Amino acid sequence: MRGFKDRDAANLESYAGTSTRWSQRIVASQAVIRGWRIVSADVAKAFLQGVSYKELAQITGRPLREVCFELPVGCIPLLRTLPGYSDFDPSSEVLACTKPGTGLKDAPKAFNLKLGQVTRDTCGLRSVSADAELEVLHENGEATLMVAKHVDDLKIAGSESKIKWFLAKLEAVFGALTVHWDTFTNCGVRHHLDLGARTITLDQSAYIAALKPIVHSDLSSRKSDDLLSGQLYTMFRSLLGAIAWCNMTRCDIIVYVVALQRHAHKPTIMHAKRLNAVVRYAQRNPRAIKYLPLTTAPGRWRSGHSVSPSASSSRSCSSLRILTVSDSSFKKEDDDGHAMKGVFILLGAGSSGVRTTNVHILDYAARKQQHVTRSTFAAELFAACDGVDHAWLISLTLHEIERGCPGASEARRLREEGGLAFELWLCIDAMSVLAALRAEAVRPPAEKSLLGHLLWIREHADRGVVTGIAWVDTRDMLSDGLTKGSVARSLIDKAMVGSWTLQHEPTVWQSTLAKRSLPPAEQKCQQEPQPEATGLLESQAAVSPAFPRVAVRSAKLRAEVDQWEKDFWESYWQSHGWSSGQWDWHHDDWQCKFDGKWHW
């Protein structure tokens, strides 16, 4: 269809169902953690298999659209061979479209709705809050299947039997699919699952090897500061766009690509030479993002959560947590200050805090800071705020994969009150920012407009949305390579194959006001000795995790308060996903029993 001739095209909503890059990586990460297989499935002639215009009007509530078209002259004899069209007259008749076809602006949306009817209505998958095209199937409270959609290309992760069941449901509606198991190329990225080692690698090595550096006589005959023009300018823009696509897996070169994109509107001979250098470096040094098995039982984000006391003791004490590794660079230029921000969002496994053994790269970014930046302090603070904002979406997605997809109201509550299924840590290398955030009373910095940003991060720490903030030595700062081209790529290279280990002691701060649903089991906080009662049942002034104990002097009132407190905490823990059998009233206080001991 010639969609550019559609008279209603300007009034139609343009929509293509594509999942985010970090959703694509989460599918690979979860497949490794849970021991799943991965599959790529392609729907043939997808845009001809969407919902009809009548169904589209019913679903969207918009008026029924009438679309008619004319056939090319050479097709008229073929049409007349069909029953009912023997007397078709092209001079006075046209054909009506019953459903959007290839070329029409509403075809992608029509297919996406049809695909959603199969995945959500028939198979029971649910979209996560942060990405409508990432869907998860939960059975008996456990995630059993994940699907990331890219229009008509699906990346599926799950057990072999569950994947086959899902593919059968799709083929019953869309016909035979093109299916590839374990090794395939999806969205331009090659995926390879090693069944023996239980690892998944993502790379674009074949694509990068096919790139051709710019070859032009002007590169050797003209001055370095001469502007590109004509064919050379076209070649520069084409190659720059091609190498920018490699940012999906090549986080080691992203800072150089972003630097060249800054000058894409007026590139010079020097920029063309540097672009060639970046391309040749990528070709000579192939890299891949690798997902290794993490040292934690599958499906358990924090030790203790959703695990019975007896089961938790048999599992590894290491836990999974989200690490937001944020960094920035600032350079004062002639007209203004140029600030770069870089962030890695990692899923890490380790003993505690920010110390990790293995990591999964879930997302990363390197781009120009959009805020007005006048100092290094401001650049670091802005980067930290943006990093936390982005990491929270990924944290929410992982929470919903583990606990189910309850909807927008629960997502809002988690944002305001905390309570995610795992910890979210912010890692920075600016001690001045950490000092400002951990002060007993946050004070306005020299640049007064930054107070709001400081209070925003501090509020998230006080509410427990951000578990803690860690200062990391610059020599361990992973995101340094996202903001500075002169920094060695060694840390990034190690992170790409699943390792980020701190060689220097970090400085860690956690807010004492944070509401904590439970101290981690590895802390093994022992109950403090209770002072002997004096007078008429004077209660100790011990403070519970989120509510103070009440001191009373009447035995009758003491019993009533005890019962009220017990009922309160039982409903509180149940609302956070804990069964009452894991907690009990012991020694006049609310305690948990694990490892054969009572813990306050």
Range of the domain at 462: 294-509
Separation between Cα atoms, residue 140 and residue 541, nearest integer Å: 42
SS3 403: helix
Domain co-membership, 312 together with 337: yes
For residues 433 and 380, the answer to whether their CB atoms sit within 8 Å is yes
In a domain, 219, yes or no: yes
Q: Which residues pair with 598 in a beta bridge?
A: 593
> Hey, how many other C-beta atoms are within 10 angstroms of the C-beta on 57?
14
**Do 260 and 177 share a structural domain?**
no
Report which residue type is found at 28.
A
What's 249's DSSP letter? Answer: T
Residue 556 has a pLDDT of 54
Tokens of 472: 């990391």
Check if the beta carbon of residue 347 is closer than 8 Å to that of residue 374: no
469 & 595 share domain = no
Q: What is the pLDDT of residue 559?
A: 65
Residues 168 and 302 in one domain: no
Which H/E stretch holds residue 207? Answer: helix 205-209
Strand order in the sheet with 37-42: 126-128, 131-139, 142-150, 153-158, 37-42, 178-181
177 domain residue, yes or no: yes
Residues 412 and 362 in one domain: yes
pLDDT at 123: 95
- For the four alpha carbons of 57, 60, 65 and 70, in that order, the dihedral sign comes to negative
What is the pLDDT at residue 107?
A: 87
What six digits make up the tokens of 356? 């990790």
46 touches 111 (CB < 8 A): yes
Report pLDDT for 520.
42
Show which of 151, 186, 221 is a domain's final residue.
Answer: 186
The answer on 581 and 529 residing in a single domain is: yes
Are 377 and 476 found together in one domain?
A: yes
Nearest to 160 by CA among 297, 36, 287: 36
Sort strands 589-594 and 583-586 into parallel, antiparallel or unpaired. antiparallel
Tokens 């972003």 correspond to what residue? 258
In order along its 600 residues, the chain shows pLDDT tens digits of 677 777 777 777 777 789 999 999 999 999 999 999 999 999 999 888 989 989 988 988 888 888 888 888 888 999 999 998 989 988 888 888 888 887 888 888 889 999 999 999 999 999 999 999 999 999 998 999 999 999 899 999 999 999 999 999 999 999 999 999 999 999 999 999 999 999 999 999 999 999 999 999 999 889 999 999 999 999 999 999 999 999 999 999 999 999 999 999 999 999 999 999 999 999 999 999 999 998 644 443 333 333 333 333 222 334 789 999 999 988 765 555 678 899 999 999 876 678 877 899 999 999 988 888 888 899 999 999 999 999 999 999 999 999 888 888 888 888 888 888 889 999 999 999 999 999 988 999 989 999 999 999 999 999 999 999 999 999 999 999 999 988 999 999 999 999 998 999 999 999 988 754 434 433 333 333 333 333 333 333 333 333 333 334 455 555 666 666 667 666 666 665 555 455 555 444 555 554 455 444
Same domain, 335 and 440: yes
Domain boundary among 470, 485, 509: 509
What CA–CA distance (Å, rounded) separates 477 from 228? 37
Which residue type occupies 478?
L
Backbone angles phi, psi at 21, to 5 degrees: -65, -40
Give the three-state DSSP class for 573: helix
CATH of residue 349's domain is 3.30.420.10
Contact 428/405 with Cβ under 8 angstroms?
A: no
Coil, helix or strand for 412?
Answer: helix
Residue at 200 is within a domain: no
Q: What is the pLDDT of residue 157?
A: 97
- pLDDT value at position 369? 84
Kindly state the DSSP code that residue 210 receives in the 8-state scheme: T
Q: What share of the chain is helix, strand, coil (3-state, %, to 5)?
A: 40, 20, 40
Say how many domains are in the chain.
Answer: 4
User: Is the domain of 140 the same as that of 218?
Assistant: no
Q: Which of 284, 318, 343 is the last residue of a domain?
A: 284
* 276 & 298 share domain: no
As given in the structure block, the two tokens for residue 98 are 């019953």
Q: Does the CA dihedral 543-545-548-549 come out positive or negative?
A: negative
Instruction: Please give the Cα distance from 156 to 170 (Å, whole number).
Output: 12
pLDDT value for 577: 59
Same-domain status, 544 and 426: no
225 and 320 fall within a common domain: no
Q: In what order do the strands lie in the sheet with 319-332?
A: 358-368, 337-350, 319-332, 423-428, 468-471, 507-509
- Report the alpha-carbon distance of residue 234 to residue 528 in Å, rounded: 73
The pLDDT assigned to 178 comes to 95
Using alpha carbons, list the distances in angstroms from residue 300 to 12, 327, 415, 581.
44, 29, 21, 19
Please indicate, yes or no, if residue 515 is contained in any of the structural domains: no
What per-residue confidence (pLDDT) applies to 339?
Answer: 83
Q: What is the pLDDT of residue 255?
A: 94
